[in-house]
Amino acid sequence: MIFLFAAITAAFGQNDYRVITVTDGGTISGTVKWSGTVPRSLEYPITKDPQICDPDSKKTADLERLIVGPQGGVANTIVYLKNITSGKAMDLPEQRRHLDQKHCRYVPHILLVPENATLSMQSSDATLHTIHMDGAASFNLPFPFTDRVTTRTMSTPGLVHLRCNGGHVWMNAEMMVVPHPYYAVTDESGRFEFTDVPPGTYQIVAWHEGWNLLGKEHAYDVLTEHSVERPLFSEPRTWEKSVTVGGNQASTVNFVISNAK
């Protein structure tokens, strides 16, 4: 477990990042796109609180593991610079630091929180949710009341898995706690962009949480105190390239991902 935690922390950044005044900074932009047949979206039966979790009576919830736009762009991919040691101050979007639980889904599905910054959480649902985190952060937080904000400081960089321990077993999200600002989450067109990048050569990584359903695993419903089954997902996937940034220059990096290994 210690080795796994160290590997996760090392994979998503370093702890010695220095904030400097960036001179002649460049930009890196690009896309993450899907190649080949798009897998069917993963659905899971809604087995609890249908009046809250299933207002449209669909009977199933979209697990949101793979979102491919009309032009093939892959949303919710985290793109980051792997070996950058200095650059601009933290300026990641505030909306990725706030989590809501709405109709028994996490909004947003991918969170991006700076190291030592605060994650705020609330529930819009009139039912008990319990956010269980494991990975670089470990919390089990109940939300028995609507619209009451709870905050926690994310002190360790790395990946955090979020699940509901209140019996809403399909709820899932991923959070990256990051040590520098050169991280982005792709939109539905698959686009990303970094600005004010110091001139140099970097490794740029595209990380996706994984889109295959492997089966089910046992979980614990804190409300009923019964064992329940929830979806078991495949491991995250990463793709890596080298990029050189010139002073006041724009660089482009495009990733193409698929079911192929």
pLDDT, one tens digit for every residue, the chain (261 residues): 433 444 444 455 556 899 999 999 999 999 999 999 999 889 999 999 999 999 999 999 999 999 999 999 999 999 999 999 999 999 999 999 999 999 999 999 999 999 999 999 999 999 999 999 999 999 999 999 999 999 999 999 999 999 999 999 999 999 999 999 999 999 999 999 999 999 999 999 999 999 999 998 887 666 667 788 889 999 999 999 999 999 999 999 999 999 986
* Upstream peptide bond of 144 is cis (omega within 30 degrees of 0): no
Of 160, 200, 151, give the one whose Cα is nearest residue 178.
160
Q: Using CA atoms, how far apart are residues 122 and 176, in angstroms rounded to an integer?
A: 19
The length of the chain, given as a count of residues: 261
Task: Please tell me the number of Cα atoms within 13 Å of 166 on its side-chain side.
Answer: 22
Superfamily of domain 2-247: Cupredoxins -  blue copper proteins (2.60.40.420)
Say how far residue 127 (Cα) sits from the centre of its chain.
24
In the chain, where are the structural domains located? 2-247
